[in-house]
Amino acid sequence: MSQFEILSTDPHCAARRGILHLAHGAVQTPAFMPVGTAGAVKGVVPSLLAETATEIILANTYHLMLRPGVDAVERIGGLHRLMAWDRPILTDSGGYQVFSLSGLTRIDDEGVEFASHIDGARVHLNAEIATDIQHRLGADIIMCFDECTPFPVDPSRLETAVRRTIDWARRCKHEFSVLSSQLSAHNRQPTTDDRQLLFGIVQGGIDPELRRRCAGQIVEIAFDGYAIGGLSVGEGHDNMVRTVELTAPLLPHERPRYLMGVGMPLDILAAVRAGVDMFDCVLPTRNGRNAFAFTEQGPLRLRNSVHGDSTEPVELGCDCYGCRHFTRGAIRHFFNSGEMLGPILLSLHNLRFYQRLMANIREHIERGDFEAWATGEMQRYAWTDNQ
Amino acid sequence: MSQFEILSTDPHCAARRGILHLAHGAVQTPAFMPVGTAGAVKGVVPSLLAETATEIILANTYHLMLRPGVDAVERIGGLHRLMAWDRPILTDSGGYQVFSLSGLTRIDDEGVEFASHIDGARVHLNAEIATDIQHRLGADIIMCFDECTPFPVDPSRLETAVRRTIDWARRCKHEFSVLSSQLSAHNRQPTTDDRQLLFGIVQGGIDPELRRRCAGQIVEIAFDGYAIGGLSVGEGHDNMVRTVELTAPLLPHERPRYLMGVGMPLDILAAVRAGVDMFDCVLPTRNGRNAFAFTEQGPLRLRNSVHGDSTEPVELGCDCYGCRHFTRGAIRHFFNSGEMLGPILLSLHNLRFYQRLMANIREHIERGDFEAWATGEMQRYAWTDNQ
Rounded Cα distance between A281 and B86, Å, is: 35
- CB contact at 8 A, B291 and B301: yes
Nearest CA to A225 out of A194, A260, A191 is that of A260
Closest chain A residue to B72, measured at CA = A309
* Residue B39 touches partner A, C-beta closer than 8 Å: yes
Interface of A with B in 268-307 (CB under 8 A): none
Residue B191 has pLDDT above 60, yes or no: no
Residue range B258-288, pLDDT digits in tens: 999 999 999 999 999 999 999 999 999 999 9
Among residues B10, B92, B146, B224, which one is catalytic?
Answer: B92
Amino acid at B196: Q
Q: What is the pLDDT of residue B187?
A: 53
* Residue A340 touches partner B, C-beta closer than 8 Å: yes
Looking at the DSSP assignment, which residues form a beta bridge with residue B91? B59, B142
Mean pLDDT of A20-26: 97
Cβ contacts of B76 on chain A, cutoff 8 Å? 309-311, 327, 329-330, 333
Determine, for residues A68 and B343 on separate chains, whether the beta-carbon distance falls below 8 Å.
no
Q: Which of A45, A325, A334 sits opposite B344 (nearest CB)?
A: A45
Q: Which helix (H) or strand (E) holds B14?
A: none
Residue B84, CB-side half-sphere exposure with 13 Å CA sphere: 25
Looking at the DSSP assignment, which residues form a beta bridge with residue A8? A17
Instruction: Enumerate residues 6+ apart whose C-beta is below 8 A from B272.
Output: B15, B30, B361, B365, B370, B374
Cβ contacts of A47 on chain B, cutoff 8 Å? 321
Q: What is the pLDDT of residue A187?
A: 53
Rounded Cα distance between B131 and B129, Å, is: 5
Residue to substitute from A309, A314, A348, interface B, most B β-carbons within 10 A = A309
Catalytic residues of A: 92, 280
The percentage of chain B sitting over the pLDDT mark of 90, rounded to a whole number, equals 91
- CB contact at 8 A, B44 and B351: yes
DSSP code string of A64-114 = HHHTT-HHHHHHHT-HHHHHT--S-EEE--SHHHHHHTSEEEEESSSEEEE
Nearest CA to B100 out of B61, B58, B148, B40 is that of B148
Rounded Cα distance between A200 and A108, Å, is: 20
pLDDT level of residue A100 (50, 70, 90 thresholds): confident
Name the strands in the sheet holding B31-33, side by side, starting at the edge strand that comes first in the sequence: B31-33, B278-280, B257-259, B225-228, B197-202, B141-143, B89-91, B57-59
- CB contact at 8 A, A351 and A293: no
ipTM computed for the complex: 0.96
Helix (H, G, I), strand (E, B) or coil at A259: strand
- The angle subtended at Cα A89 by Cα A87 and Cα A90, nearest 5°, is 160
Residue A102 has pLDDT above 80, yes or no: no
Instruction: Enumerate residues 6+ apart whose C-beta is below 8 A from A99.
Output: A147, A148, A149, A150
Residue range A133-185, pLDDT digits in tens: 999 999 999 999 999 999 999 999 999 999 999 999 999 999 999 999 887 66
Q: Which of B67, B83, B334 sits opposite A336 (nearest CB)?
A: B67
Q: What is the pLDDT of residue B192?
A: 44
Tell me the torsion sign for CA atoms A356, A361, A366, A369.
positive
Name the strands in the sheet holding B25-29, side by side, starting at the edge strand that comes first in the sequence: B4-9, B16-22, B25-29
Residue range B62-114, pLDDT digits in tens: 999 999 999 999 999 999 999 999 999 999 999 899 888 878 889 999 999 99
DSSP alpha helices (H): ranges in A248-327? 265-273, 283-289, 321-325
Closest chain A residue to B39, measured at CA = A334
Residue B302 has pLDDT above 50, yes or no: yes
Span between the terminal Cα atoms of chain B, in Å: 42
Determine, for residues A329 and B76 on separate chains, whether the beta-carbon distance falls below 8 Å.
yes
Cβ contacts of A74 on chain B, cutoff 8 Å? none
Residue range A3-19, pLDDT digits in tens: 999 999 999 999 999 99
pLDDT level of residue A190 (50, 70, 90 thresholds): low
Nearest CA to A55 out of A123, A131, A140, A136 is that of A140
Residue A226 has pLDDT above 60, yes or no: yes
- CB contact at 8 A, A353 and A294: yes
* Residue B180 touches partner A, C-beta closer than 8 Å: no
Cβ contacts of A81 on chain B, cutoff 8 Å? 311, 327, 330
Closest chain B residue to A82, measured at CA = B330
Q: How many helices (H) and strands (E) does chain A have?
A: 15, 16
DSSP B78: -
Rounded Cα distance between A293 and B309, Å, is: 37
The model's pTM: 0.96
- Backbone angles phi and psi of B200, in degrees to 5: -85, 160
Rounded Cα distance between B347 and B13, Å, is: 32
- Backbone angles phi and psi of B36, in degrees to 5: -115, 70
- CB contact at 8 A, B43 and B321: no
DSSP code string of A210-257 = HHHHHHHHHHHH--SEEEE-S-SSSS-HHHHHHHHHHHGGGS-TTS-E
Determine, for residues B45 and A310 on separate chains, whether the beta-carbon distance falls below 8 Å.
no
Name the strands in the sheet holding B112-115, side by side, starting at the edge strand that comes first in the sequence: B103-107, B112-115, B122-125
> How many Å separate Cα A255 from the centre of its chain?
17
Residue B135, CB-side half-sphere exposure with 13 Å CA sphere: 20
A84/chain B closest Cα distance in angstroms: 6
Strands A197-202 and A225-228: parallel
Q: What is the pLDDT of residue A192?
A: 44
Residue A87 has pLDDT above 50, yes or no: yes
Helix axes A155-185, A127-137, angle to 10 degrees: 50
Measured between alpha carbons, how far is residue A258 from residues A201, A231, B243 in Å? 9, 12, 67
Q: How many CB atoms lie within 10 A of CB B134?
A: 31
Q: What is the pLDDT of residue B236?
A: 95
Q: Which of B38, B46, B333 sits opposite A339 (nearest CB)?
A: B38
Strands A25-29 and A122-126: unpaired
Mean pLDDT of A79-94: 97
Measured between alpha carbons, how far is residue B377 from residues A326, B145, B386 in Å? 40, 35, 16
Q: What is the mean pLDDT of chain B?
A: 95
Determine, for residues B340 and A339 on separate chains, whether the beta-carbon distance falls below 8 Å.
no
* Residue B38 touches partner A, C-beta closer than 8 Å: yes
Cβ contacts of A288 on chain B, cutoff 8 Å? none
Determine, for residues B311 and A81 on separate chains, whether the beta-carbon distance falls below 8 Å.
yes
Determine, for residues A330 and B82 on separate chains, whether the beta-carbon distance falls below 8 Å.
yes
Cβ contacts of A311 on chain B, cutoff 8 Å? 75-77, 81
Measured between alpha carbons, how far is residue A253 from residues A14, A248, A275 in Å? 10, 9, 9
- The angle subtended at Cα A326 by Cα A341 and Cα B39, nearest 5°, is 55
Determine, for residues A344 and B45 on separate chains, whether the beta-carbon distance falls below 8 Å.
yes
B193 is catalytic: no
* Residue A265 touches partner B, C-beta closer than 8 Å: no
Q: What is the pLDDT of residue A188?
A: 55
Span between the terminal Cα atoms of chain A, in Å: 42
| Radius of gyration over every alpha carbon of chain A, rounded to an integer in angstroms | 20
B225/chain A closest Cα distance in angstroms: 30
Nearest CA to A123 out of A108, A101, A146, A104 is that of A104
Mean pLDDT of A320-348: 98
- CB contact at 8 A, A169 and A200: yes
Measured between alpha carbons, how far is residue B206 from residues A190, B159, B161, B202, B228 in Å? 70, 12, 13, 11, 11
Interface of B with A in 68-127 (CB under 8 A): 68, 72, 75-77, 81-84
